[in-house]
Amino acid sequence: MIEIDGSAGGGQLLRSAVAMAAVTGRSVRVADVRGDRSDPGVKHQHRAAVAAVAACCDADVEGCELGSETVTFEPGPVTGGEVAVEIPTAGSVTLVFDAVLPLAAALDEPLRVTATGGTDVRWSPASPFYRRVKLPLLAEHGVAARADLTSHGFYPEGGGEATLSLAPASPSRLDLVDRGDPLGVHVVSVCTHDLAESDVARRQATAAVERLREADCEILSEAVRRVDAPSPGSVVLVRTDFERSLAGFSALGEPGRPAEDVGEAAAGDALSFLDGPGAVDRHLADQLLPFLAVAGGAVRIPAVTDHVESHLSLLRAFGFEVESEERAGGAVVRSPGQ
């Protein structure tokens, strides 16, 4: 039984722990789950993530009740099929998918996971980032996955729904040290229909595009959409394309925050990244680590954050060789793979 200290790293450690347990076939116990938070223990979205992974490998799970601070996960063989989980809040659907994605390396047949909850909420990958940045980049490295969005869900009601379709995969090595020359940017802006009268989606997109053009970025595409959702909300994504990599920067609308500020925030993050040497953005830096551990390779990241360091420690506990090397303007994380 692998023992993991879950006090630092938030829900990411619990999700990654059960994912790597399923991939390696090794049991794990995570103690002091989210212990450094003001509201420690398991929350609805963590329960949903553990339940989704458990259903994919017929795992025995103990302690995954609301508020629990110790979870034990004993996996069986990973199988495909159909899985459905529900988050009865605006908890993140994409974080549930993050827990399931690494299982592609152990699948023996296709898998479909449908989750309901928040599709575009704080502290998690927004749905445009997930569908247009993370999954396309993984596809270039042998992971065939698709996220189909049935409906959006914003804070506080959630109520969105999406399905992750995952095929058995043998991930290829990640060679993401040199991103190559920039090719241009894509802008995607979404708002709910009840914000259409204020033209929120268009204003977000226009502000982002204007900021990017001021910096001489080539705009490859611009898309504006209006959607239905139980709660009003908006999101904007700026995707930067390079010869050998992708990066994404999203921002969420909030009550009282002008749409122009939302668009400019996403564009500003993209421009800051373009000024540095990273091959992937800071969110992908953390999210790609399980695939780097399994497949091997090297990834240049903007910084070794606390999240990255705790994630690396977890992977080492499962026997993976992962090391980080400080570089000017960031770091390179390497692994020989399994």
Is residue 326 classed as helix, strand or coil in its secondary structure? strand
**In contact, 299 and 279? CB cutoff 8 Å:** yes
307 is catalytic: yes
Cβ-proximal residues to 240 (8 Å cutoff; 6+ apart), any chain: 182, 184, 185, 246, 247, 248, 249, 270, 273, 274
Cβ-proximal residues to 256 (8 Å cutoff; 6+ apart), any chain: none
Catalytic residue among 46, 152, 186, 307: 307
Q: Is the dihedral of CA 25, 176, 301, 243 positive or negative?
A: negative
Q: Is the dihedral of CA 195, 92, 252, 141 positive or negative?
A: negative
- Provide the edge-to-edge strand list for the sheet that holds 246-252: 219-227, 182-192, 234-242, 246-252
Cβ-proximal residues to 237 (8 Å cutoff; 6+ apart), any chain: 126, 128, 129, 132, 133, 186, 187, 188, 189, 248, 249, 250, 266
Task: Tally the residues of the chain.
Answer: 338
Cα separation values, 38 from 35, 89, 156, 214, Å: 8, 19, 20, 42
- Dist CA 323 CA 12 (whole Å): 19
Is residue 217 classed as helix, strand or coil in its secondary structure? coil
**In contact, 315 and 293? CB cutoff 8 Å:** yes
Active-site residue set: 307
